[in-house]
Amino acid sequence: MSEVGMRQVGEFIPQRPMIRTVRNPLDQATIVSIFPKDIYEEKVTVFPGKFTVPAGTIKEPAIVVVGSSSWWRDIDIDQPMLEIPISAVVIANSVITDYSNGLLGCDMGSAMPGLFFIPGEISKAKVLMEYKMKLAEAKIKQDNWYRILIKLADSLWARTNGNPLTIWDDMRLAARELGLDTKPWVKDYTQIENVKCFACGSLRNPEFPICAVCKNIDSTHPRASEIKIAQ
């Protein structure tokens, strides 16, 4: 009977070595970011699997050079794990895709964060000099995504009677990046925290004098008298 057949249910199986071959120094890719927010991606099934892309801008793009990674396949209990290498361009594309794909309003085509990759190791100076078209394209896609987020934020703000908890942080970022700081939902939510209506107990925005649920007027609001006159 083989060793596998002799093992008991629940028996501890010693971890077998995962020996990695020498990496190809030429197998590299450069991730370029004009997204003004740090990105952290972790892929637990590969090694190396932790990637950090710093915040960047159109004038000062951030770059991160990544190499190949590997995962291991179990082929025989008596043999070391079989290494399966993954090229750098696949890793770079995966970092961008896995981060962006689940974002609200992102379609991975014309509207997405300003991220792209270039095969090989590329310096920031070379990116600014030789990849102006790629940077401009990334800026257009990022601005399109920002506009979608702003429209969604306007809708959520109106439908929830100004509930700041419905506004995503990236929506505020989008408004600031497009110079729309005057949007009421751009403010820090702690400054406009909803309060309970004394008449019905529902949460309401203290910046507005009328409760959206019971229509009661807050007499302490500075503009409450104007509403009473209008009635």
Distance of CA 171 to the CA centre of its chain: 12
Sign of CA dihedral 101, 103, 105, 109: negative
**Residue 4, pLDDT score:** 46
Strand residue runs (E) in the chain: 28-33, 39-42, 50-53, 62-67, 69-73, 82-86, 115-119, 195-196, 203-204
What residues of the chain score a pLDDT lower than 50?
A: 1-5, 230-231
Q: Would residue 88 be called left, alpha or beta, if left means φ above 0 and alpha means ψ between -120 and 50 degrees?
A: alpha
Distance between CA 81 and CA 84 in Å, rounded?
9
**Residue 64, pLDDT score:** 96
**Residue 189, pLDDT score:** 59
Model pLDDT for residues 80-122, shown as the tens digit of each residue: 788 889 999 999 999 999 999 989 999 999 999 999 999 999 9
**Residue 231, pLDDT score:** 45
**Domain layout of the chain by residue ranges:** 3-141, 161-230
What is the DSSP secondary structure assignment for residue 168, as one 8-state letter? -
Note the pTM of the prediction, 2 decimals. 0.74
Distance of CA 69 to the CA centre of its chain: 22
The CA-to-CA distance between both ends of the chain, in Å, stands at: 92
